[in-house]
Structure 1
Amino acid sequence: MEVLTVFLLALLWDLLLGEPPALAHPVVWFGKMAGFLDKRWKRKSPLPDFIAGTLVALIVVIFALALSLIPPYLPSPLGYALAVYLLKSSFAIRSLHEHVVRTITGDIGEKRKAVSMIVSRDTRALNEAHLNSAAIESLAENLNDSVIAPLLYFLLFGLPGALLYRAVNTLDAMLGYRNERYEYFGKFSARLDDLLNFIPARLTVLLYILLGGRRVLKYYRLARFKLNSDKPMAAMSAVLGVWLEKPGVYRFPGREPGNEDIVRALRVYWLVVSEWVITIALLLATGVVPCLSP
């Protein structure tokens, strides 16, 4: 029941207050650490770059694990408060909704600006339909990365699992690029993120099945473009019945997405989040899953 209380309080914090201030946000700390170490390593050759990138990832992960182990050593009220704070920092339900809502606009300039805040691709050349697609894709992918996965690892391994996942996911977002600078330096972070997301991405698809039935499974079989990230996008495309496309990378069939489909996607998002939150609460309450203490 103690772990359940921490989970419910963290969830309440997220829904009512959203994200902590950037200066006090552990995920921001992970990113700052990775960025600091990244800038100080002058690229040399594949093997030294890979070793250096691996060491950077391990330093950030160890820091995240160290943070997660502090609460039990503090006096009870303070320890619980810190556990709630750290757990909340590992997932982002409300803020993801808020970011995607900003993309629902008829002003193409404002839409480009809003979409550019949640995707890495260049939005300047995208038409309205592809901007709508990018917003929905980001919502679907981040539903896995920002909600399903961190809470799954909390369910299985307690606070250390949630913060470790968030640290690795942050490392991948910062270093996991296939370009000259990060091809080898970020490889360990990217592969570790792939490993940790393998099960959550497919679990996310299962949560969509209650909403889209066999169509979700049909689209899942089409998702052969990437190891993990295309699976939640395929499921969202199936439920909405719209095409989602990153030109030259992947495309899922359907009609052209409009602003109204972003609204529908957000409704689907909240349904899937509700399924997952209720599932976690029930599993923690019944003790079916041996979650470690936060």
Structure 2
Amino acid sequence: MKLVIFLLALALDLMIGEPPALIHPVVWFGKLIEFFDEHYKRRSPVLDFAVGSSGTIIVIGFAFFLSKLLYFLPKWFAIAVSVYLLKSSFAIKSLVRHVKDTIREDIEEQRKYVGLIVSRDVSKLDRAHLNSAAIESLAENITDSVVAPLFYYLIFGLSGALIYRAVNTLDAMIGYKNERYLYFGKFAARLDDFLNFIPARVTVLLFLPFNPRKVIEYWRKAKFKLNSDKPIAAMSAVLGVWLEKKGVYRFEGKEPTLEDIRRALKIYWIVIGEWMAFILVSEIVKSFFVQ
């Protein structure tokens, strides 16, 4: 049944992409932490950390509750809801759409669409750095949006996928090192680092078939961040282009072009295919031994 739910969720994602915001669990997670963020006035590092951590735990608890609510539903309805909730934890088609939108000949249009998928200020980025930012976002989100949620689904079932998605959403919203979130979002940020440690490295392994030697070489150079630079390094190695977030990291290569974004999307589909195949095979093997 776990395999059936996964396959149906995958088909649903590839057919419809992201569900409407009103009925999207990720939006619910965001609204819940938003409540704490907006209503709590920052007071001190200790209190900020305590309130932010409490909010994070409550959101995680809500994600866990959603996964267990299924036990109270009729069997076939519970399966349908499980498919929907699992699909909500990962995003394959919508990620492609957002990155494709950045392939614009008009640089101002490109700047607009790149700004929708990265947190950095894109107003002064030149063409090459806009191309780099789009490719970096695609590479990093292979882990965040696909590999990690399904990695935790394999191990812990629907609860694992939803809790990961909740934590990753919190990190995206409050996991910043600025005055407002340094302590308030610290617990969510560190928890996201912990949960992404293995999936980020699994993502790199999926790039190995393209150019094992170069991917390993770039992987060893990825010491700027705990997790997020690992798939970016692998994508840089395979494309042969430099990818850079100024003041944070840089992986060497030729200057990235719009065509390289298209190439990155082709690589993305192959990597996703490898991961889907691994999940399929592992679940079939597991079911064989369980029987």
Shorter-chain TM-score bucket reads over 0.9
SS at match of 2:244: strand
**Alpha-carbon offset, residue 164 of structure 1:** 0.3
| TM-score (norm. length: structure 2) | 0.98
TM-fit CA distance, 1:73: 2.4
1:248, 1:290 → 2: CA distance? 50
CA positional deviation for 1:211: 1.4
Query: Offset of 1:71 from its aligned partner?
Result: 1.7
Residue 288 of structure 1: how far off its partner (Å):
6.7
* Range that drifts further, 196-205 or 281-290: 281-290
**2:108 aligned residue:** 109
Q: How does 1:29-44 map to 2 (within 5 A)?
A: 29-44=28-43
Identity of aligned residues (%): 62
* Separation of aligned partners in 2, 1:15 and 1:120: 26
Aligned counterpart, 2:79: 80
2: CA distance, partners of 1:278 / 1:212: 20
* Aligned positions of 1:207-226 closer than 5 A: 207-226=206-225
- Contact 1:215–1:239 at 8 Å: present in 2 too? yes
> Which one-letter code corresponds to 1:62 in the other structure?
G
Q: Residues 189 and 290 of structure 1: is their aligned pair in 2 closer, same or farther, counting only changes over 3 Å?
A: farther
Q: State yes or no: 1:142 paired with 2:137.
A: no
Distance 2:203 2:288 in 1: 18
Amino acid at match of 1:234: A
Give 3-state SS (helix, strand or coil) of 1:211's partner.
coil
Q: Is contact 1:105–1:111 with CA below 8 Å preserved after alignment?
A: yes
Q: What residue is the counterpart of 1:124 in the other structure?
A: 123
> Tell me, what secondary structure is at the counterpart of 1:224?
coil
Q: Structure 1: which 4+ aligned runs deviate by more than 4 Å?
A: 288-291
Where 2:180 maps in the other structure, the secondary structure is coil
Considering only aligned residues, what root-mean-square deviation do their CA atoms show, in Å? 1.2
1:27 matches 2:26: yes
> Any conservation in 2 of the 1:141–1:233 contact (CA below 8 Å)?
yes
For residues 3-26 of structure 1, give each alpha carbon's deviation from its aligned partner in whole angstroms, at most 9, with x where no partner exists.
000000000000011111000000
Runs of 5+ consecutive residues of structure 2 not aligned to the other structure: none
Structure 1 gap segments, 5+ residues each? none
Structure 2 counterpart SS, 1:194: helix
Q: Which amino acid aligns with 2:250?
A: R
2:177 aligns with 178
- The Cα of 1:72 is off from its aligned counterpart by 2.9
Q: Does 1:8 align with 2:21?
A: no
Deviations 1:30-76 (A, max 9, x none): 00111111111110011011011000000000000000112232111
Q: Distance in 1 between matches of 2:10 and 2:289?
A: 20
Query: Helix, strand or coil for the counterpart of 2:210?
Result: helix
Cα distance between partner residues in 1 of 2:287 and 2:83? 22
Shift of 1:212: 2.0
Deviation at 1:290, TM superposition (A): 9.6
- Distance (whole Å) between structure 2 residues aligned to residue 151 and residue 222 of structure 1: 27
Give the Cα–Cα distance (whole angstroms) in 1 for the partners of residues 139 and 181 of structure 2: 25
Whole-Å Cα distance in 1 between the matches of residues 211 and 233 of structure 2? 11
In structure 1, what is the equivalent of residue 232 of structure 2? 233
Cα 1:187/1:289, change in 2 over 3 Å: farther
- Which amino acid is the alignment partner of residue 223 of structure 1? A
SS at match of 1:245: strand
Larger relative contact order, structure 1 or 2 (CA cutoff 8 Å, min sep 6): 1
- CA distance, structure 2, for counterparts of residue 24 and residue 248 of structure 1: 39
CA contact (8 A) 1:141 1:229 kept: yes
Tell me by how many angstroms 1:80 deviates. Answer: 0.3
Counterparts of 2:162 and 2:148 in 1: how far apart (Å)? 11
Map Cα deviations across residues 144-189 of structure 1 (whole Å, 9 max, x no partner).
Answer: 0000000000001000000000000000000100000000000000
Q: Aligned partners of 1:148 and 1:127: how far apart in 2?
A: 31
